[in-house]
Structure 1
């Protein structure tokens, strides 16, 4: 005999409606997520240019002091604090601290030579602005090392991680996001590309991968710059474009969502399934070499104001030419940074062109300023070209740099701010 509750027509109706309601809610949630995903149509060949005075509100050049102790190769990652530029350099396997006027302050050496897999190699660096400490990680050891702004080591701690930690960024809430190198394994084990830490304790994981379906190591050859996490102006999230994917994720300490789907011209687009089809193993690099203008990803992605900054990568773009872009998210206008020509407002010196970046990119964004750098040989080449073509009056710091420095000196940091409308 049925219970009185089961016989009631309203109860019977609800039993049929609840599953349907759940399906509707799930569909709505999916539609909401899809609606948040914005499509960016990017054609590098139609990107605009301009002059520095029309695009930049302010540009400043800071030569970094060169001494025997402070000499380094290139800026791989950089953090800007109230008093310091804090720089990590893979070539010398060191973290260097310079005052905001470029004067050398301190240095932390990670080991003899930075080779991936060496226990002493520095794999990532973040700065805790509240505690005035630098936290860096040793590649392959899941070791967290804390130093002060004078380069003095304060503590060493083990992380709760099985990964090879490659890149890190600290969010505004104090949590740290680690991007981890994941390569194929025969085991059908699920691991994650990203972990979030509060001190040494893991609080979150994002973007799971079945190891037996992961890319093999040889297919990562041209992916440098893709995984680089570049802090955004808000310090609340970073962008990530997985190699061979047309999706850009926005990752915070709590969530990982799809922010953009990028559509390139058909002639520059990868074939469907290029990053997931296992029959293409060991064939991807050969394809990119034969199809030199095919774009396989975007790297060094960051934002400031309403502008999305990034670098595009293809075999042709590997040589640092016309691959850095600014996308105005309000006007849907694409600018090529190499097409923004220097003028008298920038002393006819390079600003944000990628020539000489050696596959580097936008280092960071802080207080609406973007930070890049140029090797001294690039700066001195521009200086010599100016001498031959025009009379330029440089500010005191640059005048001293050009009169007493040389092309083998440390890089020059360039900080610039976009105009609100350009």
Structure 2
């Protein structure tokens, strides 16, 4: 376990090419059917981008070059299913194995609805017969089950998660199942897969310790200590004076971080983002911490250069996609984020005539699209240092 004392306000800027070795902008095709607002969730499957748009409750499927392929409209999932019609509530999707293949799975509480890349439903499974939130630990046979329930007779104990192997079940962090009825929270337990086989990070509710999950155990990897001005009270999760007043506390203390939004370890670098009510112009929230040199780089202060066609690689400081969502995915040594076409066209206009050469995808995008078009995915390959 390492203790990291981090004052994010000390993080310095850098040029894009100092941090990344490859940058790709992938505009997502805009049609009447494919038009959507923001990328709330991003995954990849068989050379396609799978996107969840929270506002429209839709899952959209695009090719690796951004060509629209299909749409799964959440409002239509239960069409003809009278016992569920009009009651569907879902907040994302999962990529799951299904009959020696992988499918897009949407949980409507009663059922797990399974779709292929053409947006066609290929299976419908009762949720009780499919542990819909199980996550495979990369490179292992072990599973992580959030919200694990251990039953002993008529009694049940709820845990934040359990590690499941063929021979053992290891549950961690018991909690009161009624906590959300009794209180309000601005955070939840989170998992971050960062590409190392058999490992992922876990961060508990309103916690700032990074735990490492492996097939055999949970261990504390990094204990993060922040300046007092950014730190939650030590008794924040236990003192009754904060019950149902947590939002009020954060509004009154906008510089206090209330969660870790993402945490990825890439070689010697730890990528992290904190969340608080203060604006990004007031508080630095996203950094790269080098575990070898202890240097911190501010992801909000990356300077565009020729590697990025002099376009920003995130919209921090100008718009709110990166501040609200940060990196959406780490997959095959690439980090993914996104920002709106409104931001992209604004950034291009700021360049004036100083930058005339873009990638073929961007050239076509700037010729045919506008500020109201779909968002643009930004694919970044971090340097190994």
TM-score (ref. length: structure 1):
0.77
RMSD of aligned alpha carbons? 3.4
- Check whether the contact 2:192–2:202 (CA below 8 A) recurs between aligned residues: no
Residue 280 of structure 1, aligned match among 234, 242, 248: 242
8 Å CA contact retained: 1:193, 1:208: yes
1:327 positional shift: 1.7
Query: Equivalent residue for 1:155?
Result: 123
Deviation at 1:353, TM superposition (A): 4.6
Residue 382 (structure 1) shift: 0.3
Alignment of 1:78 with 2:45, yes or no, is no
* Displacement of 1:397: 0.9
Residue 265 of structure 1 and its aligned partner are, at CA, apart by: 0.8
1:13 alignment counterpart: none
Offset at residue 218 of structure 1 (A): 4.9
CA, structure 1 residues 298+381, in 2 after alignment: closer, same or farther (shift >3 Å)?
A: same
Please state if 1:259 is matched with 2:221: yes
Q: Residues 67 and 156 (structure 1 numbering): CA distance in 2 closer, same or farther, change over 3 Å?
A: same
Unaligned 5+ runs, structure 2: 78-85
Distance 1:340 1:315 in 2: 22
Q: Give the deviation of 1:342 after TM superposition.
A: 0.8
Deviation at 1:88, TM superposition (A): 2.1
User: Deviations 1:253-283 (Å, cap 9, x if unpaired)?
Assistant: 5533222211001222111111122332122
Check if 1:192 corresponds to 2:156.
no
The answer as to 2:383 corresponding to 1:416 is no
CA shift, 1:174, in A, is 6.0
- Cα distance per residue 1:98-117 (max 9 Å; x no partner): 1111111222222269xxx9
Residue correspondences, number: 369
Q: 251-260 or 373-382, which moves further after superposition?
A: 251-260
Alignment partner, residue 107 of structure 2: 138
Change (3 A) 1:311 1:406: same
Tell me, yes or no, if the aligned pair for 1:85 and 1:99 is still in contact at 8 Å: yes
* Deviation, structure 1 residue 236: 3.1
SS in 1 for 2:18: helix
2:94 corresponds, among 110, 125, 128, to 125
- Report the alpha carbon displacement of residue 317 of structure 1 after superposing the two structures with TM: 4.7
Counterpart residue number, 1:171 = 137
Please identify the structure whose Cα radius of gyration is greater. Answer: 1
1:313 pairs with 2:275: yes
Q: Indicate if the aligned counterparts of 1:169 and 1:231 stay in contact, CA closer than 8 A.
A: no
8 Å CA contact 2:148, 2:158 repeated in 1: no
**Offset, 1:197:** 7.2
Change (3 A) 1:372 1:341: same
Kindly indicate whether residue 336 of structure 2 is the aligned counterpart of residue 371 of structure 1: yes
Give the match for residue 38 of structure 1. Answer: 2
SS at match of 2:325: coil
Counterpart Cα distance in 1 of 2:61 and 2:275: 30
Out of 277, 300, 306, the position equivalent to 1:338 is 300
How many Å separate the matches in 2 of 1:178 and 1:124?
A: 16
**3-state DSSP of counterpart to 2:324:** coil
Aligned pair partner of 1:359 in 324, 327, 334:
324
CA contact (8 A) 1:308 1:326 kept: yes
Taking the TM superposition and a 5 Å limit, the aligned residue runs for 1:381-420 are 381-387=346-352, 390-420=354-384
CA, structure 1 residues 319+160, in 2 after alignment: closer, same or farther (shift >3 Å)? Answer: farther
Q: How does 1:235-250 map to 2 (within 5 A)?
A: 236-250=198-212
Q: What are the ranges of 5 or more consecutive residues in structure 1 without an aligned counterpart?
A: 1-36
Say if 1:127 and 1:339 are closer, same or farther in 2 by CA, change over 3 A. farther
Cα distance in 1 for partners of 2:376, 2:182 equals: 34
- Tell me, in whole angstroms, the C-alpha distance in 2 between the residues paired with 1:245 and 1:104: 39
**CA separation in 2, counterparts of 1:399 and 1:309?**
31
